[in-house]
Every structure is written in C-alpha cells, then in structure tokens.
C-alpha cells in the first residue's frame, strides 16, 4: 500500500467540481485525509480565483495506474485534455508524492511527470495544505518536513485564505471571518 498526496484545484464552478471529485476519491480510496480548502489567485495567468486543497490517499495502484485513474477523473469532470498549462480549469489533480518515490513516470501515450512535484516548494496553495495534513512527512529530496518547508516559505505575493466548505456533513474549513 502506497501513500500518495494529491493537489486538487478548480476555478470553474469550484464548489461543484471539488465536491464531486472528493466523492469519487472517497468511493475509490477511502478514507481520505483532507486539508482545509483555500482560495487563491490564479498563478501564471489572469483568471478567476481557485479553490485548492491537498488530499492524502492510500492505494494499491502502481504510480502509472494512479496517474491514469486521476486523468480519467479529470476527464469525467469536463477537464479539457488539450488545455494550456496556465489556464482556467474545472478540475486539476496533481500527484505531489507517492511514498518516497523520486523520479519520472510515464504512460504509453507519453503523459506523466516527475516526483516529488516541484510545485510543493514553489506554490503556497500546494505547500500550506500539504503541511497541514502531513506536517511530519519528510520531503524525499530535501530531507526536511513539510511543516519546516512551510515555515521557511517566503513568497508574500502568493496569497491564499481558507474558505468555509462542508462536504459530506463535515466542515473541512472555515473562512477566517468565522474563526
């Protein structure tokens, strides 16, 4: 069984697509470890605000099998497969880490990526929710915990804030004004 951390994001009909994605993930990978939901500005392009979160799952799927399953979930949620990297999206699911795996992974069609995903150290909307649910997990290349990475993170232009979000009768997060 492998532990994977997934970054989820949406800036088109955000609540609908995040809720639906969590439903599908829970049906396949329950129990889920879910961070707070954060709202943030688009990074790399001008666009509507995003909802972002990180979900921890345990899976017996190989890394390529998990990647293919997540692409199917995106596709089932009207994700345009040929969309530009920096563009609006109904649903974006990225594998951040898969146990302690370091390296590339590819499907037969050439799609894939590398792990751990470099967005962990570059984007607040990835690192803060990851540090929230996996504070003592050690980054497999940097050999420091995600909590330590978040404490050291210094990118004041990347603003994000928790939003009120309820899923399956569970309060995942609260807006700062409600705290």
pLDDT at 109: 83
- Percent of the chain residues past pLDDT 70, beyond the cut: 92
50 and 14 Cβ atoms separated by less than 8 Å: yes
Q: Is residue 24 part of a domain?
A: yes
pLDDT at 81: 58
- The enclosing domain of 74 has a CATH number of 3.30.70.560
Q: Is residue 140 part of a domain?
A: no
| Chain segment 84-139, per-residue pLDDT in tens | 555 678 899 999 999 999 999 888 888 888 999 999 999 999 999 999 999 999 99
pLDDT at 77: 85
pLDDT at 84: 53
- Number of structural domains, the chain? 1
* Structural domain boundaries enclosing 73: 2-117+159-178
Q: Is residue 139 part of a domain?
A: no
């Amino acid at each position: 069984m492998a532990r994977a951390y997934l970054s989820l994001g949406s800036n088109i009909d955000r609540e609908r697509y995040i809720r639906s994605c969590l439903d599908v993930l829970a049906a396949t990978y329950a129990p889920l470890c879910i961070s707070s939901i954060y709202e943030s500005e688009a990074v790399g392009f001008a666009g509507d605000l995003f909802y972002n979160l990180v979900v921890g799952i345990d899976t017996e799927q190989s890394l390529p099998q998990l990647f293919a399953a997540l692409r199917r979930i995106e596709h089932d949620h009207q994700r345009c497969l040929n969309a530009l990297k920096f563009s609006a999206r109904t649903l974006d699911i990225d594998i951040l880490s898969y146990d302690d795996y370091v390296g590339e992974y590819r499907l037969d069609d050439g799609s894939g990526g590398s792990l751990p995903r470099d967005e962990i150290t570059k984007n607040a909307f990835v690192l803060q929710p990851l540090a929230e649910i996996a504070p003592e997990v050690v980054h497999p290349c940097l050999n420091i915990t995600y909590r330590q990475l978040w404490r050291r993170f210094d990118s004041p232009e990347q603003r994000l804030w928790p939003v009120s979000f309820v899923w399956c009768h569970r309060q995942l997060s609260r807006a700062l004004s409600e705290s």
